[in-house]
Amino acid sequence: MIKAKNHFGNILPVWQPIGYSTYQITNAISKLFGVKATHTGVLDPLAEGVIIVLLGPERLNKSLFSDLKKGYEFDIVFGISTDSYDGMGLVSEFSDNPDLREDLLKEIVETFPRYYTQRVPLYSARKVNSKKLFLYPKENLEIPELPEKSGEIYKLEYKGSDYPELYALIEETISKINLVKKGEYRQKTIISKWQEFKSSHQNEPLQRAKFYAEISRGLYVRSLSQDIAKKAGTIGFVSRLVRTRNGDYTKEKALHLEDIFGKEFSHEVLWSKFSM
């Protein structure tokens, strides 16, 4: 197979669109250029944003890039929780729709300390006893105690709320899940459960709060969302997650898939066996 010539160098900031995994993109770039590649941090398939792919000898500097500060825009829908803390999960609880005051949410984000500890989500690739956490429920194993992760919150801001209707939120969530073409994330089961949830609940507006955070390596925005909801006395899940910044790399500085694979590239080139 003829390998493509790499005109981008060995440090590739890439904009990962919704529906792909970081592993898929990294693997496809490695095959395209015929060199070993690694990434510096996973982004969930329902999220989008800047990832960094390192090629060839630059892979040896992975830890330097992994430690870069990350910036995220994220939305929390209050009143619904899922087992994954985002839309790619089964609804685990529903409560009367809270209407949280703007001043309360502003106060809540100010209570988070810079040095912050959270519980890692069950549906994550974090290993416990040498096994990735998401494999425990998949293999019907006893769920271990979820480990803690400590890091820094450099900035946490509340950006306002809107009130979309439940049915529109569910359809938006399902449309995102349908973009995840490969990888076993329980897509069919989750979509079915969201549809069942829709059919058994009235169409009512829900509060969707918007936030911006800059955090250190390894912290989960999904877990942060649970701590925000808990402080507000309610439940919630992340309905939108965008990594806007990875160190100094932003969307404006990132390569898009069309830049790397060509304007006529087939999305099938990124499909792989990886699920997380």
pLDDT tens per residue across all 276 residues of the chain = 567 778 889 999 999 999 998 999 999 999 999 999 999 999 999 999 999 999 999 999 999 999 999 999 999 999 999 999 999 999 999 997 788 999 999 999 999 999 999 999 999 989 999 999 999 999 999 999 999 999 999 999 999 999 999 999 999 999 999 999 877 889 999 999 999 999 999 999 999 999 999 999 999 999 999 999 999 999 999 999 999 999 999 999 999 999 999 887 666 666 544 444
pLDDT at 97: 73
Q: Which residue's entry shows tokens 């806007």?
A: 244
Q: In this predicted structure, what is the pLDDT of residue 183?
A: 77
Q: Is the dihedral of CA 152, 154, 160, 166 positive or negative?
A: negative
Confidence at residue 276, expressed as pLDDT on a 0 to 100 scale: 46
Of 163, 158, 156, 171, nearest to 77 by C-alpha is: 163
pTM: 0.93
Contact of 10 with 54, CB cutoff 8 Å: yes
Which residues carry out catalysis? 44
User: What domains does the chain contain, in order, with CATH numbers?
Assistant: 11-67+248-270 (3.30.2350.10), 70-246 (3.30.2350.10)
Q: E strand or H helix at 33, and its extent?
A: helix 22-33
pLDDT of residue 275: 44
Query: How crowded is residue 257: how many other Cβ atoms within 10 Å of its Cβ?
Result: 20
- Residue 266 phi/psi, 5-degree rounding, is -95, 135
Q: What are phi and psi of 104, to 5 degrees?
A: -65, -45
